[in-house]
Amino acid sequence: MSPKNDGVARRSGPAAGWNGMRIDSNRRTALIAGVLFIVATAASLLGTVVEQPVLAGNDYLTRISENMNRVSAGALFEFIAAGTSVAIAISLYPVLKRWSGSLALGAVTFRAIEAVMYTVGAVGMVSLLKVAQQFSNAAAPDRALFQAIADSLLGARQEAILAGVCAFAVGALMYYYLFYRTRIVPRWLSGWGILAELLMLVACLSALFSRNPVTSYTILILPIAVQEMVLAVWLIARGFSPAARDVTAVAGVNAAGAREAVSVPGA
């Protein structure tokens, strides 16, 4: 009787250990995603706060040349926002693919597009630093050329940021839909995210047709900014709900059962 019990214990031990490791992986994924949400949102908001006053108005080249460090800091925040935006979707992919691999991959794809567009915008910001220096050192007759170059760079940057925000809204809608459907975060929180992303899409469409910067629609952007902070705190403090752990446990039991069926003759 004892050897039989020992055999069962040995078979169940690896399965239990596997389940425990995967559950720990879910907790680690939630923690990483929560931190990334905070960093991405903070970097995006700080970049806007730092750069927007400098870029407003027709004499922005003069203000840029007088605030080089401030503009450089804003560009750095944009690079950070670009990297962390795609990192969020990548960190969530291992959990979300268990319910829908296509939507999980779609979220990664659109947030990767967002990252590329934000990088283009940040490069444009850095390029404006050089143009502003040349503008301030140029004679009055030559300044029109540098102003035209700067206006083109600023316009391209504005379009890149708009494309990035649109890609963000679409990609985020995909994982918020999965959050809502699977209940791995509370539905009031995922539902808030869906509604906030729809408002973000309204901001994108308004910016597209009005030709105003998308960042000027603060009232439409604020709900998702607040929601992402709340979601981040939830993921760090609570992690995913039991739904994520249940699907992991079922996968672990199935895998352990398959290994036993192969190893036991005549099974």
Domain residue limits, the chain: 22-253
**This prediction's pTM:** 0.79
Tens digits of residue pLDDT in 16-41? 444 444 557 888 999 999 999 999 99
Q: Angle at Cα 32 formed by Cα 30 and Cα 35, nearest 5°?
A: 105
Q: What are the pLDDT digits (tens) for 183-197?
A: 999 999 999 999 999
Quick check: 146 pLDDT over 60?
A: yes
Spatial distance between the Cα atoms of 157 and 220, rounded to a whole number of angstroms: 21
Looking at every residue in the chain, the average pLDDT score rounds to: 83
DSSP-based helix, strand, coil % in the chain, nearest 5: 90, 0, 10
Query: What integer pLDDT is reported at residue 178 of this predicted model?
Result: 95
Q: How far is CA 150 from CA 115, 136, 177, in A?
A: 23, 12, 40
